[in-house]
A and B are shown apart, each in its own frame.
Chain A
Amino acid sequence: MYSEKVMEHFMNPRNVGEIENADGIGEVGNAKCGDIMKMYLKIEDGVIVDVKFKTFGCGSAIATSSIATEMIKGKTVEEAVKLTNRAVVEALDGLPSQKIHCSVLAEQAVKAALYDYAQKNNITIEGLENYKPSDDIHDHHEH
């Protein structure tokens, strides 16, 4: 059901953990729906120098969080904003259709953390102008 890439990230997730005094923290999803992602960013001079995550969820929720952290590490915040769920799915060599929402959640977790960073520093990030925290509400029930 899952690609080897998904299983590899699930069994050996990258960047698990927390960052103390993180510059941006994003949490999306809810326990009722069965998945929560929490992302921590360390940002220096507009570049994501470190990223960690914690996820409560199924195999693909853990794998999408893991690969998303890999995809934004070392990137500028403007580049990270552009991370799409589609890119996450492609990087994992695909996801079963009922698991696409996990990739959406990963994208939203990154955006939520960046938004938190922008709020704390009173700046706007290009591409995140229209983002509202409420956007990260789990999309399960609209499917």
Chain B
Amino acid sequence: MDKKIYLDYSATTPMKKEVLDEMLPYFSEKFGNASSIHSFGREAKAALDSSRDKIAKAIGADSKEIFFTGSGSEADNWAIKGVAFANRDKGNHIITSKIEHHAVLHVCQYLEKHGFEVTYLDVDEYGMVDLDQLKESITDKTILITIMFVNNEIGTIQPIKEIADIAKKNNVYFHTDAVQALGNVPINVKDLEVDLMNFSSHKIYGPKGVGGIYIRKGVKIDPFIHGGAQERKRRAGTENIAGIVGFAKATELAVENLDSHIKHVKALRDKLIKGVLDNIDHVRLNGHPEKRHPGNVNFCFEYIEGEALLLSLDMVGIAGSSGSACTSGSLDPSHVLMAIGLPHEIAHGSLRLTIGDFTTEEDIDYVIEQLIKIVDRLRQMSPLYEKVKGGQ
């Protein structure tokens, strides 16, 4: 079996050749430390500056508002802890949603142990946050709203502009984790009027180990890593120049090719959704039917379990992911599937397939064909399915 089909682009992406080419000189040849005064250092500094400019331009920010981190998760940590601790004199209340990435949820839980209060907003069956509940939750102690742009599991796109308006009216900072949004939805930070927004390079065909954050000029935020003057004294540590150069190139490509990328993945996504819904019964599509990541497909197949589904797909060369308890390593299925109101037994049968630039139509045909067989095989083994067939 040599067929290999990667449908886990929301987990990570293969790096593009153009990105690699851009990075290569910065490992051995242009290896300088950007803080050094000599020519080697200046060469690295120039690469750092131009990378920052490229990313700023791609999202409509000023270069001074872009900071590099070691990952998207680090940037989430910085945004939330940094704003929380710097604005503690104003209040101790943070508002987030129940479907955030753990890099946000676990930070909020950590802050709760340190005297902060957190409101976790509900979402509807499609994963959309409740804006009325958001408005009602704001108090004079609220200092930060943090709500993700695009959900990593079910792909739901939140009304970021509307949330930003609510935040602004109430004089509260608004942070959005845009790790799954960059390169998949148009982003202009000035139009959206967000205060903080973070990204990850490896989700957009760039290298792993690099993230970034937009911090609007004027936002009061603590430094995150102390010990040096890098990143305007806010995030110390010698910069990962090769990674940053790759991240900048990847961002540039993602924004340049946004329309063609969306068109490509969306067509394949819709083909996959239709193929599955037309050929397999007792399936539900999770997430919003329209307001969703162009490459995200998330199903629950009733009467079977997600890990068994993933292993079976892997045996025929297809790579996906699941929110079942067995794959999350915890007792419960994914918090996102719970938040959209799925019963445990249905959430256990979830499958996420995420499509990217290198996915082809033949891939999707093959996946549909294999899924039909696999779901049928597992259902034949399932005592739950036998009851359904028996009309009980």
Indicate whether A and B interact. yes
Nearest Cβ on chain B to A54's Cβ, whole angstroms: 4
Other-chain contact of B311, A7, A18, A33 (Cβ < 8 Å): A7
Other-chain contact of B326, A34, A36, A38, A141 (Cβ < 8 Å): A34
Q: Give the interface segment out of A57-65, A74-82, A86-94, A122-130.
A: A57-65
B99-124 vs A, CB cutoff 8 Å, 1 = contact: the mask equals 00000000000000000000000000
Cα–Cα, bound, A26→B383 (Å) = 12
Q: Are B311 and A36 in contact (CB under 8 A)?
A: no
- Classify the secondary structure of A's interface with B: mixed
Please indicate the chain A residues that have their CB under 8 angstroms from the CB of B345 in the complex.
31-32, 34
- The chain A residue with its CB closest to the CB of B347 is A34
- The chain B residue with its CB closest to the CB of A27 is B383
Q: How many chain B residues touch A (Cβ–Cβ < 8 Å)?
A: 26
Q: Are B326 and A58 in contact (CB under 8 A)?
A: yes
In the complex with contacts A34-B325, A36-B383, A62-B308 CB distance below 8 A: yes
B375-386 vs A, CB cutoff 8 Å, 1 = contact: the mask equals 000001111111
Q: Are B382 and A59 in contact (CB under 8 A)?
A: no
Q: Are B331 and A58 in contact (CB under 8 A)?
A: no
- Classify the secondary structure of B's interface with A: helix
Cα–Cα, bound, A18→B382 (Å) = 11
Contact size class for A? 20 to 34
B51 interfacial by beta-carbon distance below 8 Å: no
Q: Are B331 and A141 in contact (CB under 8 A)?
A: yes
Cα–Cα, bound, A13→B380 (Å) = 12
Other-chain contact of B305, A2, A32, A34 (Cβ < 8 Å): A34
Q: Are A62 and B384 in contact (CB under 8 A)?
A: no
Q: CB within 8 Å of A: which of B272-321? A: 303-308, 311-312, 315
The 5 A-B pairs with the shortest beta carbon distances in the complex, nearest first, are: A31-B345, A58-B307, A58-B326, A54-B383, A34-B348
Q: List 18 A-B contacts (CB under 8 A).
A: A2-B311, A16-B380, A31-B348, A31-B384, A32-B345, A33-B325, A34-B305, A34-B348, A35-B305, A54-B382, A55-B383, A56-B305, A56-B382, A57-B305, A57-B326, A58-B326, A62-B308, A140-B331
